Structure formats: structure tokens, C-alpha cells
Amino acid sequence: MTSKKIIAVFGATGSQGGSVARSLLESKKFAVRAVTRNVTQPNALVLQELGAEVVKGDLNDKSLVEAALKDAYGVFLVTNYWEHHSKEEEVCQGKLVADVSKRLGLKHVVFSGLENVKRLTGGKLAVDHFDGKGEVEEYFWSIGVPMTSIHLAAYFENFLTLWKPKKASDGDYYTLALPMGDIPLDGISVADIGAVISRIFDSPEEFLGKAVGLSAEALTVQQYADVLSKILGKDIQDAKVTLEAYEKLGFPEVEEMANMFRFYQMKPFRDVKLTHRLNPEVKSFSQFVSENKEALMGI
Ligand code: NAP
């Protein structure tokens, strides 16, 4: 039996929770309880190998959530909107963890929240995958759970998938189609958030009751394109796509993404200085691209 305080980590087999679980294990200050629906999947086994206790848990199952949080000091909670595309389900999952944390008397919840854009804009703009997290955050505060909410910038990793530069049809160049105009967009490598969150768990007196925005740096689309061009040796340009043109691209949930960019254009606060203080090794976009050059060269 460990004498260390236990932190349960939801999403431990994924990007955010995986980074958090690894950093907590490295810091050796807490015992890590990695929560997953499938305890035999490879990512769970790796965490076990690194010293985590791996337990079965499902955010849709009250008794499993209770078991996952039993005797824990704290919890890192991330909910995955993109698995079900339902604000209601995301809110339900978050509120369940809030209620159980309250009942069991957890001392520190770190929740991966975001802004309730609908409330902030008086109903003018809805971004479901933000709004649900914002509602959960408000619920945590309202029932008095000791909690820190983190508002993450867009992952740099999005440039390896959804935001990959696209080959232009009329020449030997590539474009980034992100409707931000000349407004800087905050970004961070999700792999770097674990160290930040580990520091937040170490400093409850500084962070309990706060929402903190996290970002490695904010660049304009042209600046993102310039970094990519320089490191990959390809001509990558800002497509200068407008929100209206972006909305006509017609991919699934384009409206949700367009509204997210509308909100990003309102420059939600992400604290670059704090992020660097909590993780001095947080990567710049340039370092991120250099480390992922091979994957990006495949564009
Ligand atoms: P991910 O890598 O896809 O991992 C999802 C994790 O969630 C997995 O570990 C999965 O665990 C767990 N999970 C899903 N449903 C669960 C359930 N019912 N019960 C227990 N665990 C469950 O996702 P991620 O990138 O870490 O986080 C996704 C969230 O990040 C989204 O809500 C998104 O809005 C938010 N976000 C994304 C960005 C971005 O730029 N992409 C920026 C800020 C915030 P098992 O499968 O092992 O059970």
C-alpha cells in the first residue's frame, strides 16, 4: 500500500490525461490512479508499467466513478466531447464527477474546462464543446468543490491532423485554412500540459478556486505558416479564409468549428507567462514542428 496521496486521472489513456498521468508519476509526489474503460488496452498497460494503479471507470457509470474516486485526494478530469458530440452528455459526465467529489470530500479537482461561450455572449454564439465544459465548471463552483479549471489553448497537435496544410490546386504551395484573420491564435502541445498540471496539484494554495488559461504562445496564421515553411522547406501560406467562406466548406460540424473560431477571434485569455512559469520546458510551435517534422513532411 502506498502512503502517498492518490490522484485519479480520467482520460489517462488519451492525450491530456496521458500527459498528466506521466508527469505526476515522474514527480513521484502523488500516487496515480489511471481510470479507463478498458484496463487491458496498450496505453493502460504502459501506465501500469510506469507505476500507476489502473482501474476500470466510466464517466457514464455512477458506481464506477465512485469506486475510481474512493480514498483519492484529487482528480484530473477531462471529458471528451468528440466521442459522442453531445453537450448534454458531457455536462452529465462532468456533474457526476462534481457530485461524487463533493460527497467523498476530495481536496483538489483539476478540471479541463473551457468558457461557456453561450453565456458569455448572451446567447449570440453557441460552441457546444466549450459551453458544456463551461457549464460543468460553473456547477463545480456552485456546489463548492475545491477545484481549479484549466482552459487549454488549441493543441499544436491539431496541425498533424485537422489543421494539416493542404496542397493548393493552382501551384506548388500549401495553405492553412484557419479563419483567424490577423488575430493571434493561442496554441500548446498537449504533451506539455502534464507538467503544468502537476505543478497546479503541488500548489493548491495558489490555484484552488481559479480558472487558468494555458498557452505556449499565440501566433497569427501567417506566423504559423512561416514556421512550417521554414522548418519543412515547403511554401506554406495563410489561405486567408474568411469565416463565411470557411462555413461553406461543408465538412461535418463546420458550424461548431466556425463558431469556435469566432470565439477565438474574441481573444479568450490564455496565460503564456504562467504556462512558462509552471512548465519552463513548454515547447514553442517551432520546437513542436521540428520534433514532428517527419509526420508533417507527409503532407
Ligand atoms: P483523447 O486523446 O481522444 O482521449 C480521450 C480520453 O477520454 C480517453 O483516455 C478515454 O479513455 C477517455 N474517455 C472517453 N469517454 C470516457 C468515459 N465515458 N469514461 C471514462 N473515460 C472516457 O482526448 P483528449 O484530447 O485528451 O481530450 C479531449 C477533449 O479535449 C475534448 O473534449 C476537447 O474538446 C478538449 N480540447 C481539445 C483541444 C484541441 O485543440 N484539440 C483543446 C482544448 C480542449 P478510455 O477510452 O481509455 O476509457
pLDDT at 298: 84
What angle do the packed helices 62-69 and 87-104 form, to 10 degrees? 40
Beta-strand relationship, 31-36 and 53-56 = parallel
Furthest C-alpha separation in the chain: 64
- Which among 43, 78, 285 is the best mutation to test ligand 1's pocket, defined by most ligand atoms within 8 Å of the CB? 78
Mean of pLDDT values over 121-130: 98
Mean of pLDDT values over 67-73: 98
Q: What is the pLDDT of residues 151-175, one digit of tens each?
A: 999 999 999 999 999 999 999 999 9
Is the CB of 37 within 6 Å of ligand 1? yes
Report the run of H or E that residue 64 belongs to, with start and end: helix 62-69
Mean of pLDDT values over 46-60: 98
Rounded CA separation 15/13 (Å): 7
Rounded CA separation 9/218 (Å): 28
Statement: residue 2 has pLDDT above 90? no
pTM for this model (two decimals): 0.98
Write out the E strands in the chain.
6-9, 31-36, 53-56, 74-77, 108-113, 147-152, 154-155, 166-167, 174-176, 185-188, 211-214, 217-219, 236-238
Report the run of H or E that residue 86 belongs to, with start and end: none
Is the CB of 79 within 6 Å of ligand 1? yes
Q: Which residues pair with 31 in a beta bridge?
A: 6
With pLDDT > 90 as the criterion, what percentage of the chain qualifies? Answer: 98
Q: Report the atom number in ligand 1 closest to the C-alpha of 154.
A: 40
Report the run of H or E that residue 227 belongs to, with start and end: helix 221-232
With pLDDT > 70 as the criterion, what percentage of the chain qualifies? Answer: 99
pLDDT band at 1 (very low <50, low <70, confident <90, very high): low
Statement: residue 299 has pLDDT above 90? no
* Residue with CA nearest ligand 1 atom 15: 80
Is the CB of 60 within 6 Å of ligand 1? yes
pLDDT at 210: 98
Is the CB of 149 within 6 Å of ligand 1? no
If you measure from the C-alpha of residue 135 to the centroid of ligand 1, how many angstroms do you get, rounded to a whole number?
17
* Residue with CA nearest ligand 1 atom 27: 80
Beta-strand relationship, 211-214 and 6-9 = unpaired
Is the CB of 116 within 6 Å of ligand 1? no
